[in-house]
Structure 1
Amino acid sequence: MTESNPFKDLSAVPETRSEDLQRAVNLRKEEQLRTVADLGLATPEQLETMPKVRDLTVNDLNDLAAEFSGIPTGNRRVADLSLDDLQNLEGVFFEFKRAVGKDLVTRGAAVSSVDVSCCCCTPCCSCAAADMSHTGS
């Protein structure tokens, strides 16, 4: 009886499958590099007054959530945030959630798309930057 490598079949991924995987990886990278400004949660005028918040990426927000959970990330952008920056960040997400709430009330719970969700697991709602549009269908 010959031994066979159980992972051999897994390494022989068809080319189209490999291309699909690469596209998914690239999309994930793009999502992680989106900034708070890119998310459209506040007006450019509001974000102009808070450059540290404006320029945070989704990856930075995830690192911030990890830091609040006690997991050090070494992310310099997160370490450089002041208490005022954190309050501003919370304010950006609060205003967005309030706008969505108003939309729910005026439309009778038929919101076309909510691309930002909030999971109250962190004081700054950093998880709110997750793209939830794929769950709408």
Structure 2
Amino acid sequence: MAKAVQGFFIPSQREGGVPILFDRERVESEVVKQIPYAEEFSAKEDFERYDSYDDVTLEIHAQDKDKINTGWAAVPKGVTESRLRMKLVDPVTAHDIWTKDTVRGDITIVSKLTSDGYTPAEIHLTAVRNSD
């Protein structure tokens, strides 16, 4: 929705922020000038957030030795109680966690912007720690 709103204001921005009149309502220049311009607006940066966590216990819910980027899911305890899709990031391999119900590791949570704010959507497992 933010991208659509931004697109609506581009013609006005190209003309220096001229006021917009629609349905008998007027959007003043001051408001138009506050909308991020297209070159300043990166969908990846604005709609996804990356948060790193060290030494997190992951409760493994799905495993697929052949599909390291799509066949995994886990619950990162203490971060969220949601089951999230999980990607294994080098140097982590499927062999490192295969057949384990839980592992400890370093992760990055990818959160996506939704109508409820940023919501955790995916885990990137970047390191597995020894479970001595």
* TM range, smaller chain: under 0.3
Structure with higher strand content: 2
Structure showing greater Rg: 2
TM-score normalised over the length of structure 1? 0.22
Where is the helix percentage greater, Structure 1 or Structure 2? 1
